[in-house]
Amino acid sequence: MNADAMPDDDSVLDAYSRAVTAVATSVLPSVAAVTVRSDRGSGGGSASVISRDGHLLTSAHVVEGAARVSIAFADGTELPATVAGSDPLSDLAVLRADGATPPPVPWGDATALKVGQLVVALGNPLGLAGSVTAGIVSALGRSLPTRSGRVIDEVIQTDAALNPGNSGGVLADSRGRMIGVNTAVAGIGLGLAVPINPTTREIIDSLIRTGRVRRAWLGVAGAQVPLAPPIAAKVGSRTGMQVASVVEGSPAAQAGARRGDIVIALDGTPITSVTGVQRQMVEHAIGRRIEMTLWRSGALVDVVVEPEELRAG
């Protein structure tokens, strides 16, 4: 392509500005500043409308320990709200507004994102309501440890500027669809967002329906390990999860899992990491007999495990 055929800087910037402006115009009215009062004092964050009956999505750490919650929209509307449900393991929470809210932000799907794609962050950083920053998806598939000790996987990394108060706000694509919930500032030019995907949509739906999320529990802890070439060729994967410990009396212990086993598959799904096991431990696995394939002493071993419900604490 010759130089005359290349787009000039002004036209590229105009297109960028038009995209960001369109997102801000469509999404900002449905983004709220959140004020939280608790026994420890007051704090704030952001939230976005996700249903026509007044549900808003935010981060669990924003409303942790909340005694009173209020929300304020860009048009000046202020409403009290209650915490309808919170899930610290995914750092997601749902609020219910006491009053009419703007239209919901449309859902996107983070599984379709590509590195380098334009994203727009909207929220309430440092108490500055209605703020907009833009950037790109700088990486995908990051992991984020939560305060509970569990790891959120498939986290989106962006260079869109985030600051305290952005938590719970929208990370939108260029079409104004929510593809993430801003959750953490990991450094200058490095922000993280919990993705909107089929797994998190199930969590959000559960919080709306019942106020909680039920998860299954096996009772094993471990770490990702590389598989030796002969094993990798046999099982079709380069990595697995090696069991470091098995809780006495747990479903895994009753099934015969041992320290040193490498989990290769669970319920027919290949397991390549710890998060692969976490992803399988959803509500419909509770009380169901599931086949777990292990690599032990040079051979594949199949055991049947019946996960229990994960209990808080």
Domain co-membership, 186 together with 304? no
Domain co-membership, 209 together with 241? no
Q: What CATH number did the domain enclosing 246 receive?
A: 2.30.42.10
Q: Which residues contact 269 (CB under 8 A, 6 or more apart)?
A: 276, 280
Domain co-membership, 227 together with 205? no
Residue 147's pLDDT is: 66
Q: Which of 87, 91, 173, 261 is catalytic?
A: 91
Q: Which of 46, 55, 59, 61 is catalytic?
A: 61
Residue 53's pLDDT is: 94
pLDDT band at 12 (very low <50, low <70, confident <90, very high): low
Query: Based on the number of CB atoms within 10 Å of its own CB, is 12 exposed (0-12), middle (13-18) or buried (19 or more)?
Result: exposed
Q: Single out the residue in 213, 247, 282 at which a domain terminates.
A: 213
pLDDT band at 307 (very low <50, low <70, confident <90, very high): very high
Domain co-membership, 148 together with 209? yes
Q: Single out the residue in 196, 213, 230 at which a domain terminates.
A: 213
Domain co-membership, 81 together with 55? yes
For 273, the domain range is: 216-309
> How many domains does the structure of the chain reveal?
2
CB 167 within 8 A of CB 59: yes
Domain co-membership, 249 together with 155? no
Q: Single out the residue in 192, 213, 234 at which a domain terminates.
A: 213
Whether 206 sits among the annotated catalytic residues: the reply is no
Domain co-membership, 208 together with 72? yes
Whether 55 sits among the annotated catalytic residues: the reply is no
Domain co-membership, 30 together with 53? yes
Two tokens, residue 152: 């959120």
Domain co-membership, 173 together with 266? no
pLDDT at 126 over 80: no
Q: What CATH number did the domain enclosing 78 receive?
A: 2.40.10.120
Residue 98's pLDDT is: 96
Domain co-membership, 198 together with 223? no
Mean pLDDT confidence for 32-43: 90
pLDDT band at 123 (very low <50, low <70, confident <90, very high): very high
Whether 91 sits among the annotated catalytic residues: the reply is yes
Alpha helices in 142-261 (DSSP H): 198-210, 229-235, 251-255
Q: How many Å apart are CA 8 and CA 86, to the nearest integer?
A: 48
Mean pLDDT confidence for 296-301: 90
Domain co-membership, 237 together with 156? no
CB 280 within 8 A of CB 270: no
Q: Which of 86, 167, 206, 273 is catalytic?
A: 167
Taking alpha carbons only, the member of 146, 122, 136 closest to residue 48 is: 122
Residue 148's pLDDT is: 61
Q: What are the tens digits of pLDDT across the range 224-261?
A: 899 888 888 877 888 989 999 999 999 999 999 999 99
Mean pLDDT confidence for 261-282: 87
Domain co-membership, 53 together with 185? yes
Which helix or strand (DSSP H or E) is residue 279 part of?
Answer: helix 274-280
Residue 1's pLDDT is: 47
Would you give the DSSP letter of residue 30? G
